Structure 1
Amino acid sequence: MIIRSVKHSFRYVIIAFFLFVAQNQVSAQYITDKDTTIILISDPNVQLECTQALNDLYNFKFPAAEYQFQYLRAKYKWHPLPYFLMGLIEWWKIMPNTKDTSHDEKFLAYMDSTIEVGEELYDDYPQYRVEASFFLAAAYGFKGRLYSDEERKNWRKAASAGKDALDYLEEGKTKENLSPELLFGDALYNYFSVWVPENYPALKPVLWFFRKGDKALGLKQLKEVSYNAFYTRTEAMVWLMRILNSYENDQPQAFQISKYLHEQYPDNPYFHRYYARMLYSMGRFTEAEPECRNIIARIDSAQVGYEATSGRYASFFLGQIYEARRKPEEAKGFYLRCLKYAEEIEATETGYYLYSLIALGEIAEQQGDKKEAKRYFELVKKKADRKDEAFKDAKRRLKGLEKGD
């Protein structure tokens, strides 16, 4: 039930799928004459300069990453790459808790700089239009993703950004060879152009204007990018992990990716909590317990990126673990902590909050405190939608309490 609520929040990103595909589809085009078309993105010297900075970015060592990207901006101020990478820093500041809009302005400013510099490259140097188009579409696509986020829902701006991204889709359309680096967008397009109409039939008419996709090919391409790309490798792994876990019912493979990402970037809170969630959902409680405790310890020590969203996950999982071990007092403490974290981020209508309340009510009932149990179940009815399973569960439990009086 909890995992389903997480999947539901992910759907908002998928609904905005064509905005993201617009970001990437043009980037999947590759001209065979690399010397005159791919001027930085495939340059091994630039990649060498970026290696540690990208590691720092995904490991939430933002000042170190920013220092190197600022160096790149000074060296390549005529190119959109450094501005886009600076924007990615702000994007990953948003990722742990998308309810936090404090980084939006700076993120959008870097994407706008990417667009401004990219347009100059596109207009003034026709031979470089493929690479310029990649960054232009990427910047517009990321703006669209932000505007279409569940917490922002600025559909007008999202649609406008999507349209601007689409304008760059024609570049390199006839080119035949795809590099692993630039295959990312084609992979997402192939997968989601089939997935979207399967799950949202109302969007089928929109797809009449797009080429036919292939889910199996999309997954294969995502794996290739995950193995062989440089700039897009980690982003591809994140999408592959989420797709395998949420849509392909392949938890074992998704788990392996989550484990790798956490081990590779141990200070990334998003990867950390995803790994903990995979351990929990697979019933590997012995391994999940120390990871969840570590997440909470990092929140308590104010480590960068570790905040109430991750705490809500970790504390709920710990409550479940201790309840399964028949340690109600320990479980109760973590469920209460889950409520606190959820209230901090105003997430009191989510499954983690509602099922923590139900668990607390159940513990109170088992301990003979029917008044306290009733209070928790009434809170569920107050917070949950009437169609929600948690609402129905609380209603049933309240009836049971009344019969017992």
Structure 2
Amino acid sequence: MLTRIAMILSIWLAALGIAQAQGAEADSMIFAPSKYLLLDRGLQFRITKSINSMYNFDFPTAERDYAVLAIQYPNHPLPEFLVALGYWWRIEVDVTNKKYDAIFVKYLDRAIAKAEVMFDEDETNKEAAFFLAAGYGFQSRLYSERKSWTKAAWAGRNALKYMDLSRGEEEFNPELLLGDALFNYFSEWIPENYPLMRPVMALFPKGNKELGLQQLEQVANNAFYTRVEAQYFLFRLYASEEKEPFKALQISEYLHGKFPNNPYFHRSYARHLYAVGRWTESVQQSREILDRIDAKLPGYESNSGRYAAFYIAQFNERLGDRAEAKKYYLKTLSFGEESESQESGYYLHSLVQLGKIAMEEKNKTLAKKYFKEVKKYAKRKHPAHQEAREFIKKNKL
């Protein structure tokens, strides 16, 4: 547990990503040249559509454009990094799926290698340092998900080193601020939530959660390359840590509207609608998610299905429609088993509810089976495990 907690900071600190531009300039706009490709406004204008396609899960269109970019800039890390980011979002939809790991790391390695050449030629090159920080940062995130702690720690340290080296160029500030924001937030959040980590965190500069959130908002509003990543972190923090569900909903609603075929943003929007009590709308979005899974649209798979089916089941239970609730709780189980997510809260709660429905239908044998499954998959301190124990005892199952 301590190893995992210790890794949280490096993962989130190193989370420097690429994001899409908001709005396009007029074709007649004359852009001032920049010594850094990242800050070339003309390039930003040209690749906005490509990056938008990537976030909207139209990877073939995005990657065709990135291939052209690679021909134009064969020695620059940007094209490979953008391709890697596309594979990261394929992973993000279901982080338990390892099918994209190798190709994701391959493109990051290529980007890192080109950035290292640039940095070796000129150690004052802030752009090279930026890509090294970003490349190692994403590697750290992946290796942490895979519980490869040594690799994650090594990549995280490198990301932090290059993030520091990339400072000092005022034009880069909106992009680099993401790292500062995450540092400020989590260097205070970790000791608050894990007191045993306080001696370790005392070695780091003091953080400020409120400032971290303000900085994330600033990046989300002003950055070009880290904008969507900042919005992603913001809605997750507002939903889980800050208990600001309406703020989380506002961001996820915007992202789903901007990228309607992104399954992660789609299910997050459905989830946040559900969290604020807009259940009819949540069910509408959830049914659309299930339809897209049936249509085999890119990225729509069992993990998203587990969310969607659960919200529909809960809605029908509130309406008193036991048959429909049962149908969708069973779908939740099916999706959970497909994605090997039996320890997830939605899976466990569905088992509990199916057990209760079985009791209402006078099927004690089936009810006992469901509650035994809860005890099998849930940790003893999990609320579902406790509820299962109490229900079994009370009903003498």
Structure 2 Cα separation of the partners of residues 63 and 362 of structure 1: 47
Query: For residue 131 of structure 1, what is the amino acid of its counterpart?
Result: E
**Where in structure 2 are there 5+ consecutive unaligned residues?**
18-31
Change (3 A) 1:200 1:354: same
Residue equivalent to 2:25? none
Change (3 A) 1:266 1:175: closer
Residue equivalent to 1:225? 219
Matched, 1:238 2:232: yes
Matched, 1:397 2:395: no
Structure 1 Cα separation of the partners of residues 6 and 66 of structure 2: 30
Distance apart, 1:174 and its partner CA: 5.7
Query: For residue 217 of structure 1, what is the amino acid of its counterpart?
Result: L
Query: For residue 142 of structure 1, what is the amino acid of its counterpart?
Result: F
Residue equivalent to 1:88? 85
Q: Over the residues paired in the alignment, what is the CA RMSD in angstroms?
A: 2.3
Residue equivalent to 1:320? 314
Query: For residue 161 of structure 1, what is the amino acid of its counterpart?
Result: A
Of all paired residues, the percent bearing the same amino acid is 45
Residue equivalent to 1:370? 364
Cα distance per residue 1:345-394 (max 9 Å; x no partner): 11112211111111111111112222222221222122222222111111
Query: For residue 121 of structure 1, what is the amino acid of its counterpart?
Result: M
Moved more, 351-360 or 394-403: 394-403
CA contact (8 A) 1:17 1:192 kept: yes
Structure 1 Cα separation of the partners of residues 46 and 4 of structure 2: 35
Structure 1 Cα separation of the partners of residues 211 and 368 of structure 2: 52
Matched, 1:213 2:207: yes
The one of the two structures with greater contact order (alpha-carbon pairs below 8 A, sep at least 6) is 1
Cα distance per residue 1:275-331 (max 9 Å; x no partner): 111111212111111111111111111110000000001111111110010000000
Matched, 1:16 2:8: yes
**Where in structure 1 are there 5+ consecutive unaligned residues?**
1-7, 26-34
Distance apart, 1:226 and its partner CA: 0.9
Moved more, 109-118 or 279-288: 279-288
Residue equivalent to 1:333? 327
CA contact (8 A) 2:245 2:275 kept: no
Residue equivalent to 2:143? 147
Distance apart, 1:20 and its partner CA: 3.6
Distance apart, 1:12 and its partner CA: 6.4
Distance apart, 1:111 and its partner CA: 0.8
Change (3 A) 1:172 1:291: closer
Residue equivalent to 1:283? 277
**Paired residue secondary structure (1:131):** helix
Residue equivalent to 2:73? 76
Of residues 237, 240, 247, the one that matches 1:253 is: 247
Residue equivalent to 2:59? 62
Change (3 A) 1:15 1:249: farther
Aligned length: 382
**Paired residue secondary structure (2:93):** coil
Correspondence 1:98-113 to 2 at 5 A: 98-113=95-110
Residue equivalent to 1:53? 50
Structure 2 Cα separation of the partners of residues 147 and 400 of structure 1: 45
Structure 1 Cα separation of the partners of residues 206 and 34 of structure 2: 28
Give the alignment's TM-score, normalised by structure 2. Answer: 0.91
CA contact (8 A) 1:140 1:161 kept: yes
Query: For residue 16 of structure 1, what is the amino acid of its counterpart?
Result: I
Moved more, 179-188 or 328-337: 179-188
Cα distance per residue 1:198-232 (max 9 Å; x no partner): 22233333334433222222111111111111111
Structure 2 Cα separation of the partners of residues 398 and 388 of structure 1: 16
Structure 1 Cα separation of the partners of residues 12 and 192 of structure 2: 18
**Paired residue secondary structure (1:180):** helix
Cα distance per residue 1:67-91 (max 9 Å; x no partner): 1111111111211111111100110
Residue equivalent to 2:22? none
Query: For residue 96 of structure 2, what is the amino acid of its counterpart?
Result: K
Query: For residue 267 of structure 2, what is the amino acid of its counterpart?
Result: R
Structure 2 Cα separation of the partners of residues 400 and 109 of structure 1: 55
CA contact (8 A) 1:20 1:142 kept: no
Residue equivalent to 1:114? 111
CA contact (8 A) 1:23 1:134 kept: no
Moved more, 325-334 or 276-285: 276-285
Query: For residue 171 of structure 1, what is the amino acid of its counterpart?
Result: L
Distance apart, 1:115 and its partner CA: 0.9
Cα distance per residue 1:169-204 (max 9 Å; x no partner): 441556677632332212112212211222223333
Structure 2 Cα separation of the partners of residues 302 and 24 of structure 1: 31
Moved more, 394-403 or 235-244: 394-403
**Paired residue secondary structure (2:39):** coil
**Paired residue secondary structure (1:390):** helix
Distance apart, 1:100 and its partner CA: 0.6
Structure 1 Cα separation of the partners of residues 224 and 164 of structure 2: 24
Change (3 A) 1:13 1:277: farther
Change (3 A) 1:172 1:330: closer
Change (3 A) 1:384 1:74: same
Structure 2 Cα separation of the partners of residues 362 and 98 of structure 1: 31
Correspondence 1:125-204 to 2 at 5 A: 125-127=122-124, 129-149=125-145, 152-173=146-167, 179-204=173-198
Structure 1 Cα separation of the partners of residues 220 and 272 of structure 2: 20
Query: For residue 139 of structure 1, what is the amino acid of its counterpart?
Result: G
CA contact (8 A) 1:24 1:186 kept: no
